[in-house]
Amino acid sequence: MNYQIAEKVALITGAAGNGLGRADALALAEEGVKIAIVDIQSSEETVSLAEAKGVKAKGYVCDISNTSQVNEVVSQIEKDLGAVEILVNNASILSTVGMFAEIDPKKFNRDIEVNLIGTVNVTRAVWPKMLQNKWGRIICISSFAGTHGGAGQTSYSTTKAGVIGFAKSLALEGARFNITSNIVSPGVMKSEAAQKFIRGDMLDRMLKKAAMRRLGEVEELANVIAFLCSKQASYLTGQVIEVDGGAGLFTF
């Protein structure tokens, strides 16, 4: 299917590593989209993989919780590639796992600074040009923890629930400017983050909750994101799309 987004400029946060963000970037590169990777670490490998698909791609090192850094990077992207038309707010961290009473408040706050405030910072920086050009696609990555909560993940769940409210509000404000804003909520995927924090008995329990009884492939999530950026999805906005193998269904 021709998504009719070739030559658009996409900014994807948190796409340096071999995880969801990289898969998102490569899925959009397949559609001929120019790729800007914003990550706290070097994204040379992702950039090379995107360029191999025949598109322009550049990486930018930035802490998205730092407003001034974000503004500088977005200005540079506009000079290098053009105004950002597609934004995938993928970057997030999970600073700590544990019961709420035991969590270090500084780590709790750091999750909020990156996952929620960082998402707001990047969106704020690209929003004016989207309004001006009367076109934009915003996809915020939430989580099963954001829609259903998670014991031992209060900070992460809080930020991912906040992202949903933020993206839905943007959908309302952007609708008359041809800007769509949607949320993709993945279940347990085959990603670096999942391998780091979810294993053993926890992984077994989560797999049993999913109707499909397997981990999701990062490409399965990325394909949904590419569709949400397409012309074909132009009437779809303010939605939470759960890509979780049926984890939200009643299973037994």
pLDDT for the residue numbered 211: 83
Stretch 163-181: mean pLDDT? 98
* Closest to 130 in 3D by CA, of 4, 2, 8, 27: 8
Convert the pLDDT of each residue in 184-207 to its tens digit.
999 888 876 666 656 667 777 777
pLDDT for the residue numbered 187: 87
CA–CA separation, 119 and 167 (whole Å): 10
Assess whether 156 carries a catalytic annotation: yes
Bridge partners of residue 136, in order along the sequence: 179
User: What average pLDDT does the chain have?
Assistant: 93
Convert the pLDDT of each residue in 31-84 to its tens digit.
999 999 999 999 999 999 999 999 999 999 999 999 999 999 999 999 999 999
For residue 177, pLDDT beyond 80: yes
**Domains observed in the chain:** 9-243 (3.40.50.720)
Inter-residue contact 26 to 47 (CB < 8 Å) = no
Residue 249, both tokens: 């269904």
pLDDT for the residue numbered 111: 96
How big is the chain by its Cα radius of gyration, in Å? 17
Distance (Å) of CA 40 to CA 14, 60, 179:
7, 8, 27
pLDDT for the residue numbered 198: 65
pLDDT for the residue numbered 196: 63
pLDDT for the residue numbered 71: 98
Report the share of the chain in percent with pLDDT over 90.
Answer: 78
Stretch 173-180: mean pLDDT? 98
pLDDT band at 252 (very low <50, low <70, confident <90, very high): low
Which amino acid type is present at position 70?
V
Higher pLDDT, 147 or 252: 147
Stretch 95-114: mean pLDDT? 93
pLDDT for the residue numbered 204: 76
pLDDT for the residue numbered 199: 62
pTM for this predicted structure: 0.94
For residue 122, pLDDT beyond 70: yes
- Parallel/antiparallel/unpaired status of strands 179-186 and 240-243: parallel
Convert the pLDDT of each residue in 201-237 to its tens digit.
777 777 777 888 888 899 999 999 999 999 999 999 9
